[in-house]
Amino acid sequence: MEDEKDQKDLRELISSLSGKIIDEKAHGLKRLAYEIKKHKAANLFEWIIQLDLDKISEFKKKLGFREKVIRYLILKLEDKFEARSTKSLPADATHQALQAGETNSNFQNSNTQKIGRNAPCYCGSGKKFKRCHGR
């Protein structure tokens, strides 16, 4: 996605699926740890988008057809994290949040346990975690 045209195409794809781009960062050309589709380096972009859950599978499908996109990762942000993020707050509210002692450690759930590789998968498929979601 070196061209502005390629980025514009992705923006149009997101808007065609009734999505909205919240934040966009270009990290530039990065050397890859291993070759991906015979590429040793790639331009890295980080986009935060808002998209309906039922449109995500369609977005993944259309993104997979693009030759310029060699890898992508889609993460779902929880509402609790978005509401407590200090990035979207005005400067004085950010300062107040830092004074109150709010840090990213507040977002970690202390009740969660680490799932072992050989434990049954949490999705209920009956497979081992390493064969199902551990990849």
**Sequence ranges of the domains in the chain:** 1-89
Q: How far is CA 111 from the centre of its chain?
A: 24
pLDDT value, residue 2:
56
Name the CATH architecture for the domain at 1-89. 2-Layer Sandwich (3.30)
Confidence class for position 16, pLDDT limits 50, 70, 90? very high
User: Minimal CA–CA distance to 10: which of 33, 26, 29?
Assistant: 26
Residue owning tokens 């009956």: 126
The model scores a pTM over 0.85: no
Bridge partner residues of 43 (DSSP): 29
Q: Which two tokens stand for residue 69?
A: 């996109």
Average pLDDT, the chain: 75
Residue 135 CA, chain-centre distance (Å), reads: 17
Kindly state the average pLDDT of the residues 48-70.
88
Read off the pLDDT band of 83 (50, 70, 90): very low
**Residue 119 identity (one-letter amino acid):** A
Q: For 39, phi and psi rounded to 5 degrees?
A: -105, 135
